[in-house]
Amino acid sequence: MDLLTLERLGDNCKGMRVLVVTSDFPSEIDHVRGVFIYRQSAALRDLGHEVSVLRVVPLAPPFGGKWHKYRALGERYTYEGIHVDVARTLIFPRLRNFELLRAQTGGLIRKAIAHVQPDVVHAHYVQYPGSIAVDRGKPAVITSHGIDAYDWPFRREGLRRDAVRTLERADAVVGVSAFIASTLRRLVDRPVDVVFNGGDERAFTRADRAGARAELEISNDRPVLAFAGNLGMAKGIFDLAKALRGLDVAPLLLIAGDGPYKNDLEKALQEAGVPVRFFGNVRNDMVATIFAAADAVTLPSHKEGLPVTICEAMLAGKPVIATRVGGIAEIVRHEETGLLAAAHDVDALHALFVRVFADPAAAAEMGRRGHQFARQHLTWHANALSYDRIYRRLTQARAA
């Protein structure tokens, strides 16, 4: 632990035992799923906390390819030094029994708490990890990431009641952006902390662009745009294909990610005359190389909480071209650290791409300013320090 961290933590810098309750966490089978929860957990570990994970996953049927990754998980595994216990429970598709999972998983969470003896239980997502973590005799922190705030509780009355109960009984509730915090307060009138997501400042730096391009075999004079994320409709991928049509020089689009619409997106980009390379779901070091090679990073989403991709792009010193949804405008300042358009506005998005590629010097300056902001506010180290303060506030209140 460095001196700066010790100063920020004050005199009481003894590490705590933290039990993370989550549905998603990386494994050797899938390094991408829940990687942001791993990054946060690793940053907490770097502060001196002892982090254990209870990963609650669906009880997968013995057939069907979509369930393979759940079936392949053992009862416990270790991922880059963090121990993960896997608990299985019956979870129906389309959230049909989410409000019943607390009763169904009571024995699982009690067993994990008895084994770990945590000082704090930290659940990711209000439902279902949050709902099963509250009222277990330990201070409970719930982090809401997005869809669990602006979507799930509003799908039906049973989900809303379960979300309200969970939020009322949590010792601390955190939103990854002010937008998410305000959405949670529509459900329950209570304090909600705001802690931005982060990126790994060791991987995402203002790296050598020429070196990254040499590694990827891309010429230095070619315009390059990067995208990282799930290839689903909500990420605005087809808006992206339309917005890139008709540029004077079509940029090479580098895509890190996979999803159900990959083939359709490839066809749409081909019709738009946009050259593309798909890298699939790759680890952080490759995403960092892709970003280093790019002139800009884009994320034209329709819905968001606070995308880790944008934190990483800003740490990499790249201008961001994105949509004004969720918490994005809280970290991307239009015309200062990036450029923003309304969601679904293909014409506005097209105009932003024209600007970025027509004035590389101005784009680079936006990237430089974004890097400065991100180094201060958008690292997992900064994120972990904020959670450390929340944990200590709760444990000290409990002890008083």
Contact assessment for residue 328 and residue 307, using Cβ atoms and an 8 Å cutoff: yes
Alpha-carbon gap, residue 286 to 222, rounded angstroms: 20
Model pLDDT, residue 400: 77
pLDDT digits (tens, 9 = 90+) for 343-386: 999 999 999 999 999 999 999 999 999 999 999 999 999 999 99
For 61-82, the DSSP string reads -S--GGGHHHHT--SEEEETTE
pLDDT digits (tens, 9 = 90+) for 293-333: 999 999 999 999 999 999 999 999 999 999 999 999 999 99
- The DSSP element (H or E) to which 313 belongs, if any, is helix 308-315
Q: Which amino acid is at 372?
A: Q
Model pLDDT, residue 4: 47
- Which of helix, strand or coil describes residue 309? helix
* CATH topology assigned to domain 209-377: Rossmann fold (3.40.50)
Fold equal for 3-198+379-399 and 209-377:
yes
Q: Which amino acid is at 93?
A: P
Alpha-carbon gap, residue 274 to 262, rounded angstroms: 15
Model pLDDT, residue 13: 61
Domain boundaries, the chain: 3-198+379-399, 209-377
pTM: 0.93
Contact assessment for residue 333 and residue 396, using Cβ atoms and an 8 Å cutoff: no
Model pLDDT, residue 64: 77
Alpha-carbon gap, residue 301 to 322, rounded angstroms: 7
pLDDT digits (tens, 9 = 90+) for 230-272: 999 999 999 999 999 999 999 999 999 999 999 999 999 999 9
For residue 378 the two structure tokens come to: 């958008």
Model pLDDT, residue 7: 45
What's 3-198+379-399's CATH class? alpha beta
Contact assessment for residue 225 and residue 254, using Cβ atoms and an 8 Å cutoff: yes
Cis, bond preceding 150 (omega within 30 deg of 0): no
